[in-house]
């Protein structure tokens, strides 16, 4: 606990004021693993968040908002003298409107909790992540999370109809609109979606829902190339049997690792193809879906005779196939703190990009190799190195050059769905144009002149002392 006086301490009277707002049980003197901050606060309402932020604003103490703590870019790391604000207690699903296909939730609601509640009404959030059990809606809004269905339903920016956020001075911006069509002035919610808590703390949100399909059908295809995988995806998009729900690419080294650690063995499906495609259709008629998946498999085999495949014939088999994709923890057990990257690549450029990736990494160090997997229908690739992290600075810089340098000219992005946090600030500074960076800094100064909300995240530089209080 760091209390007392000095630039990296929390004043004792400040802590007492927090206790007066929240109660002693909701002010903790240990922020938890991975945090340097001395205090963790647990508000239970937007009004309490506003009081905390106003107090921090008055004392010039910075705040680090925390959701499910599942991010990969150090977006909620903290330092001495800061306060970590956890949304754990703000976990109420306030309402679900089945006819409107809308849910109103507090920011601490997990995706899985929302999925469960919506399912009871025959609905789903239109977004899904492997970290569904811990990722919170507020965190997903703040990072503009994507997931496996982004090609169809969009990312969080497309799922949020309205939101409530506490601004850096403690004022509350509440725009809990429940309708799709809204042209009443500036659509300010988009300032906070993807801002990672640097412009305001999201406390509540209105989430658009979708009907749950009556059935699903899944096939895993072993394919000779990304070109073949994209051809299979196009077949699925054109299927009259159902709609494409997911298309996940698993390159050879990744599926070999997860299959080995899970003990998954299918003699009819050797794991020797360059890329594997996990393809799922959904729709109203389970029988037609099965026929549609078989037709896609047959068409792929006709065009690519060396292709292999396995069709799930039960929900259990379907779940087993999906575990091969979602069990990313195995990567970090094999390589502790393995460096990970998250890029978006135009579909037509993926094959060449991955080839250049392997070549470029080999030039840095012949032993470095990537595990590649991701949302192939929208070009979002996750890349994890076969190295324990962190990398030394020289190697890390060289790796980022290989991964990021081609993306701007290709029309891609170095950060697809995990945000900037603290880890990718240098990449943003190197790739964003000066006008974009200046506009971002202008918005930050306008809303947060003291720079108290999640400092050291997203923006490439800290403001000067004069800028902080301008």
pLDDT of residue 33: 67
Domains 93-211 and 337-420 belong to one CATH topology: no
Question: pLDDT-derived band of residue 461, with 50, 70 and 90 as boundaries?
Answer: low
Average pLDDT over every residue of 165-192: 96
Secondary structure (DSSP) of 371-398: EEEEETTTTEEEEEESSPSPPPHHHHHH
Q: Average pLDDT, stretch 313-329?
A: 95
How do the domains of the chain map onto residue ranges? 93-211, 215-326, 337-420
pLDDT of residue 265: 94
The CATH class given to the 215-326 domain equals alpha beta
Task: Tell me the C-alpha distance between 89 and 86, whole Å.
Answer: 8
For residue 343, is pLDDT > 70?
A: yes
The first and second tokens of residue 140, run together, are 């997903």
Q: Is 79 helix (H, G, I), strand (E, B) or coil?
A: coil
Show contacts of 86-94: CB within 8 Å, 24+ apart. Answer: 86/40, 86/41, 86/42, 87/43, 87/136, 87/138, 87/139, 87/203, 88/42, 89/26, 89/42, 89/43, 89/44, 90/43, 90/44, 90/45, 90/46, 90/49, 90/138, 90/203, 93/117, 94/204
pLDDT of 7 above 60: no
Average pLDDT on 366-393 reads 95
Neighbours of 92 (CB within 10 A): 16
Tokens of 273: 């193809």
Percent of the chain past pLDDT 70, that is, above it, reads 96
Task: Please give the residue that has the higher pLDDT: either 245 or 79.
Answer: 245
Which token pair is 40? Answer: 């963790």
pLDDT tens figures, 81-96: 899 999 999 999 999 9
Average pLDDT over residues 391-402: 94
Report pLDDT digits (tens) over 362-372.
999 999 999 99
Q: What is the pLDDT of residue 8?
A: 61
Confidence of residue 75 (pLDDT cuts 50, 70, 90): confident
- Average per-residue pLDDT for the chain: 93
Q: Domain 337-420 carries which CATH code?
A: 3.30.70.2740
- The whole-number pLDDT of residue 235 equals 98
pLDDT at position 465 is 44
Give the residue with greater pLDDT, 75 vs 446: 446
Cβ distance 22 to 65 under 8 Å? Answer: no
Q: Alpha-carbon distance 388 to 338, whole Å?
A: 5
CATH architecture of 93-211: 2-Layer Sandwich (3.30)
What confidence tens digit (pLDDT) does each residue in 211-269 have? Answer: 999 999 999 999 999 999 999 999 999 999 999 999 999 999 999 999 999 999 999 99
pLDDT for res 71:
77
> 24-55 pLDDT, tens per residue?
999 998 777 667 887 999 999 999 999 999 99
């Amino acid at each position: 606990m760091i209390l007392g006086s000095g630039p990296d301490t929390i004043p004792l009277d400040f802590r007492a004021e927090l206790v007066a707002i929240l109660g002693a049980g909701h002010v903790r003197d240990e922020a938890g693993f991975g945090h340097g901050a001395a205090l963790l606060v647990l508000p239970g309402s937007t009004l309490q968040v506003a009081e905390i932020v106003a107090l921090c604003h008055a004392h010039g103490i910075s705040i680090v908002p925390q959701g499910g703590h599942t991010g990969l870019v150090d977006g909620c790391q903290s330092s001495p003298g800061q306060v970590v604000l956890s949304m754990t207690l703000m976990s109420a699903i306030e309402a679900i409107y089945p006819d409107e296909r809308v849910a109103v939730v507090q920011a601490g609601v997990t995706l899985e909790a929302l999925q469960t509640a919506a399912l009871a009404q025959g609905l789903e959030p239109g977004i899904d992540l492997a970290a569904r059990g811990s990722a919170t809606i507020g965190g997903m809004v703040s990072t503009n999370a994507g997931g496996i269905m982004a090609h169809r339903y969009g990312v969080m920016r497309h799922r949020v109809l309205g939101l409530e956020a506490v601004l850096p001075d403690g004022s509350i911006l509440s725009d809990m609109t429940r309708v799709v069509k809204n042209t009443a002035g500036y659509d300010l919610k988009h300032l906070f979606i993807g801002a990672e808590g640097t412009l305001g703390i999201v406390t509540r949100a209105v989430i658009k829902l979708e009907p749950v399909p009556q059935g699903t059908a899944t096939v895993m295809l072993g394919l000779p190339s990304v070109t073949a995988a994209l051809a299979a995806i196009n077949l699925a998009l054109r299927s009259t049997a159902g709609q494409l729900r997911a298309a996940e690419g698993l390159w050879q080294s990744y599926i070999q690792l997860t299959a080995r650690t899970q003990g998954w063995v299918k003699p009819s499906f050797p794991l020797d193809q360059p890329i594997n495609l996990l393809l799922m259709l959904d729709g109203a008629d389970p029988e037609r879906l099965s026929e549609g998946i078989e037709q896609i498999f047959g068409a792929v085999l006709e065009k690519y005779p060396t292709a292999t495949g396995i069709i799930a014939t039960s929900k259990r088999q379907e779940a087993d196939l999906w575990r091969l994709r979602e069990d990313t923890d195995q990567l970090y057990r094999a390589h502790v703190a393995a460096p990970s990257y998250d890029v978006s690549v135009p579909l037509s450029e993926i094959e060449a990009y991955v080839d250049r990736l392997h070549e470029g990494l080999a030039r840095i160090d012949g032993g470095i190799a990537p595990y590649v997997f991701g949302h192939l229908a929208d070009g979002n690739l996750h890349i994890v190195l076969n190295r324990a992290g962190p990398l030394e600075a020289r190697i890390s810089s060289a790796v980022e050059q290989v991964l990021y340098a081609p993306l701007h000219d290709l029309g891609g992005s170095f950060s697809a769905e995990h945000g900037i946090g603290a880890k990718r600030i240098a990449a943003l500074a190197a790739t964003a144009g000066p006008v974009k960076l200046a506009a971002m800094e202008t918005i930050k100064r306008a809303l947060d002149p003291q720079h108290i909300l999640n400092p050291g995240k997203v923006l490439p530089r800290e403001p000067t002392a004069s800028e902080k209080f301008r």
